[in-house]
Each structure stands twice: as structure tokens, then as C-alpha cells.
Chain A
């Protein structure tokens, strides 16, 4: 039971991170119907930006921790968003309306490019960071096994909840959200009634990138090591989460992320840790076979 609780806590933490990345996939897919293959790399850039911000802050001298976190959060979101915007502008926008596979292939190229760019600029070795937030609560103890929830885990979970609330309000209550939903339904029609489609799509990428940057920040703090390659696996798992939840559905992405996090935590807790990545993909395949629309996705009605 104690072990179970511990895995549950770990799983929810991990799931928060995946959920934040998954939203980027699901939003982009919803609005332009493409898999933004480079999204995992955007998250990786977010992790690097936050790491560098922390390092710079340490260099200029000690700074009150909450302020440092806030600074890193803002920096990561800001700079990563610019990357997200640029990627869309350079690699995807010229291909809108091109044949089906073109943007996907361009996205794969972009993903390889960004990965290697960071490798060239920052080196291939893993980057270890001193733990910034340590300590935690002991929830229960039995037979020498202590269940703890660290401050960091609390930080991650709370921040995720706050961001997702803000984000949901943004989508549901603002004119920006309305423009997004209109563009999703029918791009031509949306343009005709005065929605700036290009800008709406750009905003979608920016929002996705900002959330991925937060996930990058979290992962930097949580694991303490990052390298240029982390985007690949995380991206794939987040995409799996998006599909699991029902691609195009934002609550679905959150739910999917949570489930993938839990599956991974329990799998490595109870089975073999080596195959934890396989577990996530096997679930993806199973979901696609038995419920191609995902858990919360709407069935697609084919227009002929």
C-alpha cells in the first residue's frame, strides 16, 4: 500500500510533465491537423533555457529561491515561445496546403536540426544541475518504508494545476480561444469572417511552446540532469498521451499525460524498469486498435 502510494505520487508528478507537453501536440493537431514532430525538441530547448537561467542566476550571486524560480519560468516560457513561433513560421507555414506528408517530413527535419543545434552549441555531454529544491513531507511510514512527497513534487503538481486552469479559461472564455476554435472548424470560413488565421495558428504554437517550456523547467528541477536528446523520448510519450486522451481534445491531453505518467511509474515500480518505454508504446498501439479516437476524442465523421 505504501509502495503503491509512493508510485502514485511519482506517477502524478511525471504525468503532469507529460500532460503539459501533450497539450502542445493536441492543440497543433487540432488546429492544423499535423503532428508537430519538433515539439519534443521545443520542450528540450525549454529545459536548456531554464537550466541556463539558473546557472546565470547563480553566477550573479545568490537570489531568493522563489524569485529564481519565477525568473526561470518567465525566461523559459519567453525564449522557448520565440523558438516555437520561428519553427512554425519557417518550416510549417510555407507548407500549408501542400501535400499531406510534406509538413510532417519538414517537422522531422526540424526535430533533427534542433537536436543537433543544441548539441553543437552546448555539447553532447549530460548537464547535471545542483538540486535547488530539496526536502519534503513524510506522509506515512510502515515497516521502514517511508512514503514522501517532496516539495518539488508539490511545486510541479500545483504549478500544473494552476497553468492548466489559466489555459482552459484562455481557450474557453477569450476571443483568442474562440478564434482558435473557429480556425479548427473551418480555416477558410474563419478567415472570411475576419479571424486572422495566420496569427491564430502562430499563437497556438506559441502557447504550446510555452507550456512545453514549463515542462522543461520541471524536468530540469526534477531529474537534475538534461541533455540534447531528452526531447525525443519525452516527445513521443507526450504524443502517446495526446492520442490516448483523444487527439484534439485538451482535457484529453491532460488525462492522457496523467495516465502515461502513472503507467510508467507503476510499470517501473512493479515490473522491469528497462521496458518502461515499451509499456507506453504498447499502450499507444492498443489504444489505436481498440479506440482510435482516444478516451475523450470525438469520433471523426468522414466528409465525402
Chain B
């Protein structure tokens, strides 16, 4: 490249970065350039132009760095980065079974290690709830390609079903769990039946509206749901109806430590919750892995690819979508009743749109349809904010920004490699086309 050419490049680079900085300043001027605050009930404003300056400078150099990076260091930065992520995916895929076994073993041993205490177990349970919800939503979004923005509504239906059944009728957790799943699935069918005939994006908005309706109803139907006060003293589950987790036992059940002749530990209860949600999550996962290889699972994926072609092959699109929608709702219902029993208290606060957005982000960022991706994304998105607690204010900001960035950078998510559900040839030679 000649000197003159480089000069020209430099000039256009400056121009580009300058323009970007100018736009950034214009964007920041009204919103960051003035600070509004209350003085004795009257709103007033003061200038904060230094923030605008900072925004402009950051964007100027940021834009420049990106351009220089793209042109000189990595002529195809996007591809290189994509390739790196791809190769990580490949490594994971090659040693899949081994890695999964190790992971599972670690997860099972974890509560018995010295690392397990009340706090860490609580956090693990928290992450596992999202893993389960992510796996459940993955059936709807990842496999069937239906954008459900009101997934949290089914989670709420599950939670309230358990809470109401347990507090009103004194039913045990083990009876309520399937009931909660059935209720949530029924809601899914009732909602899905009219709207699943419509185009994909309408579904997104209707499910979003449905999520809000459920929340508003929970908030206002005071006699039934307790309104904003929610429902408290939700009973804890028993050890499969055999024992109880308190020191002395109650309801005619012996305490857990006596049943097994071990010493009492307050950790037992948390360990039980941990294994319970782990089991529920694994059931969701195994179910998904299995159903993917069944005709209905293939039909879901086919619908995601091309609905018109599906109809021409005699597949009933409405029923097929409905089954994905209802099954996804059912798992949310299970997760909801677990949530209710673990918290002991639920209120509409826990079921806002943001929850739906988080679950969706877990599915999308993980790579739609990828089960491992969901786990990784849950850990990052749920554990991350817990670790950086001081930055809680910026949590959702980073979250939204991350969603946009990942979409722009890798629209199919971080782990987007799809494994065929069935193979004709087992030798790798013939698979070359699949890898292409």
C-alpha cells in the first residue's frame, strides 16, 4: 500500500470516526447532557456536558479502533472471531459424551463438597431454575421457531397453581407438581389455539400481551391471588412423602435425618431443593433430546424451516405448533411450582416481562436449539449479575446491549451447531457435506 493511499485511508478514517462521535454527542446531548432532579417537589435540571464529551470521545476512539482492527490486524475479524467460537464448539462436540459425563458428575458431587453451603446451594438452585426454563423455552423457540415473549406467564400459572392448591386444599407437592404442569399446558393450548394460526411475529406480540394480562389479573384479583401481597407460607415439599426436613418432623412424618440415621444438618433441605431442581431440569433436557428424534420433534424443526413446505407434506401446522407450545408451557409450570415451594412466598413481582426477556436471552444467546448453550448462557446471565452485585444498576443495560451485540455478531447464537437427529451412514467420510 502506498504512502498516499494510507494517508487517504487515515483521512477517511478520521472522517468516519468524527461523524460517529458527532452522532454520539447528538444522542447524548439531551439525555446525558442534562441531569433532572427534584427540588422540593419541583423538577429542575442542571447541565452535565462533560458526560456528552466523554461519550463522544469514547465513540470516536472506539470507532477508530474497530476500523483499524478490521483493516489491519484482522482483515476478517468477524470471521476470525466466528471461527474461534466455532472451533470451541467443535472441541465440545467431539468430546461431547466425556464432557457431559464429567459435568454431570461434578454437578452431582457438588453438594457434598466443602464448597456447598447455604449461599452457594441457593445460587446453584437459582441458576438451575433458569436452566430448566431455558430448556423448556428452547422447545418452543429453538426447535419450533415460535417466538414466545410471555413464557413467564406459564411459569406464573405453575407457581400460583401450586401455591393455591397447597394452601387451600393442603395437597402435597408431589400431587401438585403434575397438576401445575397440566394447568400451565392448558393455558398454553387455550392461548395457542387461536393465535398459532397467525404469522410468527403476531405470536410474539400476543404472547407478550398474554404475559401482561396474567400479571394484571394476579395483581388485581385480590380474593383469589392476594393481589400485590401475593401468597405466603407455601408449604415445603416432603421427602417423597416419607420424611420432613425440620429438626423434629411434623404432620406425622419423621425428620429426614432420623429416617436415614444421620446427623441433623440444616443443609439437607437445601441439598434436597438442589437435587429436586436438578432432576426436574434433567428430565426437561432428556425429554427434549428424545423428542427431537421423534416425528413430532422433526416436524417442529421442519416448521421452523419452512411452514409452507410442511403443509405440502400433510403436516398440520397448527396442531404441531400447539404441541410445542403446550409442552414448553408444561415445563414452565413445573418450574413454577418448584419456584413457589422453594421461595415459600410468591407475588406478581416475580413474573414481569423482564423474566421472559431473560429466559429468551438465555435461549438466544446460548444458540437456539442448543442444550449446552442454554447452560452456559444461564451461568453467564444469572450468575454474572450476582457476582457483580455493586453494578446491579447496569445489569439490565449490559443485558440488553449483549442481546443486540450477539444478534449482530452471531445471529444464530454462540453455540449454534445442529446435530442431525438420524444418520444414514455412520462413517465420517460421507458427512463432509454436513460439516460444510
Contacts and interface: CB of A to CB of B under 8 A. Distances in A.
A288 B29 CA distance: 41
Interface string B390-407: 000110110111111001
Chain B contact residues: over half helix, strand or loop, or mixed? helix
A285 B209 contact: yes
A56 B36 contact: no
B353 A232 contact: yes
A105 B360 contact: yes
B425 to A, nearest CB: 28
A123 B36 contact: yes
Interface residues of A, number: 70
Interface string B189-220: 00000110111111011101110110011011
Contacts of A105: 147, 360, 364, 403, 407
Nearest to B407: A106
Contacts of A101: 141, 145, 147, 200, 368
A125 B364 CA distance: 32
B431 interface: no
Contacts of B394: 116, 120
B213 A56 contact: no
B41 interface: yes
Interface residues of B, number: 63
B42 interface: yes
Contacts of A285: 194-195, 206, 209-210
A81 B26 CA distance: 10
A280 B34 CA distance: 35
B253 interface: no
Given A109-B407, A127-B43, A128-B43, A55 B36 contact: yes
A41 B199 CA distance: 24
Contact of B44 (A55, A82, A232, A302): A55
B149 A108 contact: yes
Interface in B294-325: 308
Contacts of A51: 36, 43
A116 B397 contact: yes
B412 interface: yes
B62 to A, nearest CB: 12
Interface string A109-148: 1111111111111110101111000000000000000000
Interface stretch (A152-160, A181-189, A190-198, A271-279): A271-279
A99 B412 contact: yes
A109 B195 contact: no
Interface string B134-156: 00000001000101010000000
Interface in B381-423: 393-394, 396-397, 399-404, 407-408, 411-412
A288 B205 CA distance: 11
Interface string B26-38: 1101111011111
Given A99-B411, A105-B407, A284 B200 contact: no
B339 to A, nearest CB: 22
A11 B109 CA distance: 62
A109 B51 CA distance: 24
Given A52-B45, A106-B404, A112 B35 contact: no
Nearest to B406: A109
Highest count of chain B CB atoms <10 Å: which of A105, A108, A236: A105
Contact of B209 (A53, A59, A284): A284
Nearest to A225: B43
Nearest to A113: B400
A35 B216 contact: no
A176 interface: no
Contacts of B45: 52, 55-56, 59
Contact of A109 (B27, B145, B402): B402
Contacts of A104: 147, 201, 204
Given A48-B30, A278-B216, A278-B217, A109 B194 contact: no
B309 to A, nearest CB: 9
A51 B34 CA distance: 11
B209 A56 contact: no
Interface string A183-225: 0000000000000000000000000000000000000000000
A289 B407 contact: no
Highest count of chain A CB atoms <10 Å: which of B31, B35, B141, B412: B31
B413 to A, nearest CB: 10
Contacts of A296: none
25 contacts: A48-B31, A52-B34, A52-B36, A75-B30, A79-B29, A91-B407, A91-B408, A99-B411, A101-B147, A102-B407, A103-B407, A104-B201, A106-B408, A113-B397, A115-B396, A116-B397, A116-B400, A120-B393, A120-B397, A121-B32, A127-B36, A128-B41, A239-B205, A274-B216, A274-B220
Interface of A: 34-35, 45, 48-49, 51-53, 55-56, 58-59, 75, 79, 82-83, 86, 90-91, 94-95, 98-106, 108-123, 125, 127-130, 232, 236, 239-240, 243, 272, 274-275, 277-278, 281-282, 284-285, 288-289, 292, 302, 304
Closest 8 CB pairs of A and B: A109-B403, A113-B400, A112-B400, A281-B209, A106-B407, A116-B397, A55-B45, A102-B411
